[in-house]
Structure 1
Amino acid sequence: MTSTHLDVDDVEINDLGLTGYTVRPLTPDDAHAVFDLMAAGELETIGEVAIEEADIVSDWQRPSFDLATQSIGVFDGDHLVGYAEVASGRYADAAVDAEHRGRGIGTALALWTQRVSRRDGAGLVGQPVPDASPGEHLLRDLGYEVLWTSWVLEMPQGKTIEPQPIPEGYSIRPAEGEADFLAAHVVVEDAFLEWSNRERETYEDFAAQVLHRPGFEPWHLRLMTAPSGEIVGTSILQLSEGCGFVSRLAVRREQRHRGLARALLVDSFAVAREHGAHRSELSTDSRTGALSLYEKVGMEVTSTWRHWAKNTSESPA
């Protein structure tokens, strides 16, 4: 078996220094294989599978993402044993089959992500990896540095967040159409860009990840409205395998400290339970300063992740 020579926009992925493997860009048909690969890694490192195939599908269908030039798969025969992707030249993800570690695949993929970042002009590339995982050890050895820490939190089964009254005239309802979707996108981006150093996400990318995510229903998008009817907060709910996961929670800056975020969280988890969820989860990171707030309402950390990054403008990989 020999490696296939391919060039992806001047970023060579011919053999990456690997022997006995074939390498090619991924296609939408590879989503399930990538899910299996990443799920196995999560089960090994955090003791559960957090990722869903819908996460991969929705990420890959963003208009800003191009599988042909921003992804790579390493195959042993027809079996995917390694994969990497880089969105916007900045945000990477990668995984290697446990049985194929120690053969240089992880290092080769990391170097490839650096070259993609350099090609696409980001100057910095990084990815989240679980605490004390093989991926973390590899990135540390390759000179990556931690930029922030993130946590997945869960409300213990059988417990709920104590409701908090909200000001008179405010209410929560499900999204009902395009105007609501557009308003929710603005609220989320305005809030997240207060602490996230990135370009503003387009509505089309937002729609791909949220509205066109497999399984999405309009009631998954919870909206907080002010007495005027203006949408001032939103919670985005994902339901899968008995779990209600809040993927994004945002309230307009001038509307904070009124209990609106807490009310949205209570509502989202309650709606998820009504639809069969017995677990309630969300994630946050050190840039937001919200960890203690979620712990105060009774949520507990179930896994810790770190975003390791490297300056790709220093020297060619």
Structure 2
Amino acid sequence: MTVGLAHLIRRPIVPADAAVLAELLNAIEVVDVFGEYYSEEDAADQINAPLLDLERGTVGIFDGDRMVGYSSAAHKLLVEDVHRVTLSGGVRPEYRRRGLGAELLAAGIASAKALHAIHHPGLPLAVDAQNNALNDSARVCYQAAGMTPVRWYSHMRHPLGAAVVDLPQPDGLVVEGYSVAGDAEFFAVSNEAALDRWGGAPMPPEQWRAFLGWPAFRPDLSFLLRDADSGTAAGMLLTFSWDADTAATGVRDAQLIRFGTRRAYRNRGVASALISHALRSARDAGFDRASVEVDADSPTGSNGLYERVGFSVARTEVRYSLNA
């Protein structure tokens, strides 16, 4: 335990911590810049995620009633080759450079190993964490723990308005909006596409239901492309928008969060058509911009696809990994 910090309380995060977690995350955002702001309800969505093991996978550090740091390890239920446990965490800026970041990272790695031993002991384990590429303190902390950079992600923005490019739909495909009746097809396409992404894994049904239960989900800006002849769902896109982001920045941002194309329909303009339709719909709904996170190393050339429809890179994040 770090000298001078013995009075701080360490314990697992519980659902009643939503308000103090939101306040901590917003304090971290001011310095670290992830482009994310939280309401108490948003933090509750994170805490109550179906697969998050609060007792084994989280640690909160408290100074009285104030949360000053946290760590969270999210395991995966459906895994094929490597079990990738994703860590998130951070320390309130005024409590930094006192060893808490290293302590929480070590706690997160220990949590990842414990969860792995329960859920996928026969598979290799990789522990991942992601941070702003400009955050040198985080880089030093990760590297001291033996983590190395393995992937870069571009956070891209589109100004909407006159910058929206109208692209035609591929021949034989028709667009339809999200509906409860079509939910299973959105889910199936999303999971198939996830298998072809680096580190991708299918989302269990209970996680999908919770995901689409977030107040930020915009079904009116989420779309499916369907093969008119066979009725097969070819591609899908889900859009979210957080009120806390709008309140903090004054900008209504339509975030393209989950998207994918079935293998049989790739290289036919499905992704471009869906993105163009979503951008046009967001503009017409009064949004100020759109944003997306893109794997800069994706073999499908995602960066180029988004640049062609008017997106530009706003910031870069780095994924660090430890083979444990």
Count of equivalent residues: 295
1:245 aligned to which of 243, 255, 280: 255
CA distance in 2, matches of 1:265, 1:69: 39
| Distance change (3 Å), C-alpha of 1:196 and 1:215 | same
1:34 aligned to which of 6, 14, 21: 21
8 A Cα contact 1:166 1:258, kept in partner: no
CA distance in 2, matches of 1:16, 1:222: 51
1:280 aligned to which of 270, 279, 290: 290
Shift of 1:116: 1.0
String of CA shifts for 1:226-283, please: whole Å, max 9, x gaps. 1133221111001232111100121111112222211111121222223331111111
| Residues 184-203 of structure 1 aligned to structure 2 (within 5 Å) | 184-203=186-205
String of CA shifts for 1:105-128, please: whole Å, max 9, x gaps. 100101011111111226321211
CA distance in 2, matches of 1:199, 1:224: 22
Residue 149 of structure 1 corresponds to 152
3-state DSSP class of the match of 2:191?
A: helix
Report sequence identity in percent: 25
Shift of 1:36: 2.7
Query: Is the deviation greater in 265-274 or in 297-306?
Result: 265-274
| Distance change (3 Å), C-alpha of 1:39 and 1:136 | farther
1:267 aligned to which of 247, 265, 277: 277
Tell me the TM-score normalized by structure 1.
0.85
Shift of 1:33: 2.5
Shift of 1:79: 0.8
8 A Cα contact 1:21 1:76, kept in partner: yes
Uncovered stretches (5+) of structure 2, i.e. residues with no partner:
76-83, 117-123, 247-251
8 A Cα contact 1:223 1:233, kept in partner: yes
The one-letter code sitting in structure 1 at the alignment partner of 2:222 is L
Residue 301 of structure 1 corresponds to 313
CA distance in 1, matches of 2:21, 2:167: 41
Query: Is the deviation greater in 32-41 or in 222-231?
Result: 32-41
CA distance in 2, matches of 1:52, 1:151: 22
2:52 aligned to which of 35, 58, 65: 65
CA distance in 1, matches of 2:216, 2:42: 11
String of CA shifts for 1:173-223, please: whole Å, max 9, x gaps. 11221x4111111101111211233542212111211x2112435324311
8 A Cα contact 2:194 2:200, kept in partner: no
String of CA shifts for 1:22-68, please: whole Å, max 9, x gaps. 1111122323322332233233233x732444654434333222223
Uncovered stretches (5+) of structure 1, i.e. residues with no partner:
1-14, 313-317
3-state DSSP class of the match of 2:182?
A: helix
CA distance in 2, matches of 1:16, 1:236: 44
8 A Cα contact 1:39 1:49, kept in partner: no
String of CA shifts for 1:71-98, please: whole Å, max 9, x gaps. 1100111111100100117111001011
The one-letter code sitting in structure 1 at the alignment partner of 2:256 is V
Query: Is the deviation greater in 165-174 or in 99-108?
Result: 165-174
Q: Within the alignment, does 1:116 sit opposite 2:126 as a pair?
A: no
| Residues 1-317 of structure 1 aligned to structure 2 (within 5 Å) | 18-46=5-33, 49-53=35-39, 56-88=43-75, 90-121=85-116, 123-133=125-135, 134-156=137-159, 158-177=161-180, 179-209=181-211, 211-227=212-228, 228-240=230-242, 241=246, 242-288=252-298, 289-312=301-324
CA distance in 1, matches of 2:221, 2:209: 13
Residue 7 of structure 1 corresponds to none
| Distance change (3 Å), C-alpha of 1:171 and 1:60 | farther
The one-letter code sitting in structure 2 at the alignment partner of 1:156 is P
3-state DSSP class of the match of 1:62?
A: coil
